Amino acid sequence: MGEYLLEMNHITKVFPGVKALDDVTLKVRPGTVHALMGENGAGKSTLMKCLFGIYHEDGGEIILDGRREVINSSKQALDLGVSMIHQELHPIRYRPVMENIWLGRFPMKGIAVDKKAMIQKTKDLFREVGLDVDPEVLAGELSASTLQLVEIARSVSYNSKIIIMDEPTSSLTDNETEHLFKIINKLRSEGRSIIYISHKMEEILRIADEVTIMRDGQYVGTWPASDLTTDLIINRMVGRDMTNRFPPKTYTPSDEVVLKVENLCSPLAKSFQQVSFELHRGEILGIGGLVGAQRTELVEALFGLREIQSGGVTKDGERFAVKSVRDAKSHGFALLTEERRATGVFGILSVLDNTVIASQKNYATRGVLHQKQRAEAAQESCRKLNVKTPSLEALMQNLSGGNQQKVLIARWLLTQPDILILDEPTRGIDVGAKYEIYTIMHDLIAQGKSIIMISSEMPELLGMADRVMVMCEGRVSGFLDRERFDQVEVMRLATQFAS
């Protein structure tokens, strides 16, 4: 084996209407963690899908272990020692975890599956990666973060020389991320190489040996991680300085209360209890807290997705019961969910369908859809939010994460809400697209709308909110006005009731 375990030279990939990869190079040394960075739409995932055989490159060459390879399928990639942990998890939810791991390669005893051997192999694998999960539990019963760790274990099970990790920590807690890093260090010490895609700068600078940066489908360069800083990475990713990560505030929230929540309680003992707060017109109210603080559960209840046992919700002076999503929408609420791929995006539908689906009734007469009105509404909404798509007929799943998120915001704006609830609005989105989302939020506030924003990113929480409500284990632990914003104080309040 030479200096490089993998060489991808002059890779080109064209889709209808867009050149996704334009003369891209990636060279990975054995026994290293090689970070691959760039804004959403830079071509990172497309490049990896070429390596994993999901796409076939239109030009260039792939050299693996010194040999030129033409990789036409994922099975061929796995046989060559390349495995991939995808950004989107698609477990078979009604089958046991062990079957998800060994699918297509079950241990056999004659013509029958050797269940006993499969259980033991799964236990051995989980022990190797330090995962405490029952092999026979149904995949659908596990949390998103545990499923992510199971997917990592499955990838390790192939004994691959190269493991591609696409946003592996997007749904992991800090402790789970630390656990993943231990697994990565173990794999690196065994001489395996990790290609690591992430938008989290601190992670990259901590775990990577080398960093390759892409921009607009092209190769920018490769540097030792030790030579880089967060500001340098951002500058090379976006091609411009981004010393100001947040747009300047040009508005002041009014004193008018548009939403009053009083002593809201969930029927579940371990969910939100006795939550009270006010939201003003033209205000961004941030909700901070750690995993398990029940922030998502609270806003889902306000949107009619979860049951409310007691307490009151008053909008514009009118008290009303939130019993369904229809109730919430009719009172001017909209919710951008935390997991856009699981609960927001209809990947196999067009951008047009995704944009108008929540306001479909506005473009129909006696059940007949007016296609021209739908298209005009979608076109105008996507134009206002600067959605980058070859056409409105393009499949939603082919858009970058940042553009998908903008389509989802466009979807809810077409319902003409007064209160927009954003749950982790920039998760898995690069810095350039984040700035665009922040600008959209400021524009909405300038129009007199109000926003409730959940964010687990402290800089985002303090950079965008006018006030912050902190939650801990289902209860409100405190409020901070902008002049009192302090990361240490937020963390203190976030752990106030922790047992």
Q: For residue range 180-207, what is the model confidence (pLDDT) as tens digits?
A: 898 899 889 989 999 999 877 888 999 9
Q: Mean of the per-residue pLDDT values for the chain?
A: 87
Average pLDDT of 259-269?
93
Q: How confident is the model at residue 499 (pLDDT cuts 50, 70, 90)?
A: very low
Average pLDDT of 469-483?
93
* Predicted pLDDT of residue 308: 93
Structure tokens at 334: 């909209």
Q: For residue range 275-295, what is the model confidence (pLDDT) as tens digits?
A: 999 999 999 999 998 777 899
Query: Hey, which residues does 478 pair with through a beta bridge?
Result: 470
Q: For residue range 293-344, what is the model confidence (pLDDT) as tens digits?
A: 899 999 999 999 999 999 999 999 999 888 999 999 899 998 988 777 677 7
> Is pLDDT at 358 greater than 50 in this prediction?
yes
Average pLDDT of 366-370?
76
* Predicted pLDDT of residue 2: 65
Closest CA to 27 of 64, 82, 80: 64
More confident residue, 287 or 42: 287
Structure tokens at 298: 């609270």
* Predicted pLDDT of residue 230: 83
* Predicted pLDDT of residue 241: 55
**Which residues contact residue 64 at a Cβ distance below 8 angstroms, ignoring those fewer than 6 apart?**
5, 6, 80, 81, 82, 162
- Give CA–CA dist 150/142, Å, rounded: 10
**From 61-75, 85-99, 441-455, the region with the lowest mean pLDDT:** 85-99
> Is pLDDT at 16 greater than 70 in this prediction?
no
- Give CA–CA dist 309/379, Å, rounded: 41
* Predicted pLDDT of residue 498: 53
> Is pLDDT at 348 greater than 70 in this prediction?
yes
Q: How confident is the model at residue 243 (pLDDT cuts 50, 70, 90)?
A: low
Please give the domain boundaries of the chain with CATH numbers for all domains.
6-238 (3.40.50.300), 257-494 (3.40.50.300)
**From 14-18, 209-213, 364-368, 465-469, the region with the lowest mean pLDDT:** 14-18
Q: How confident is the model at residue 240 (pLDDT cuts 50, 70, 90)?
A: low
> Is pLDDT at 476 greater than 90 in this prediction?
yes
- Give CA–CA dist 89/67, Å, rounded: 31
> Is pLDDT at 347 greater than 50 in this prediction?
yes
pTM here is: 0.61
Q: For residue range 127-164, what is the model confidence (pLDDT) as tens digits?
A: 888 788 899 988 888 877 788 788 888 888 888 899 99
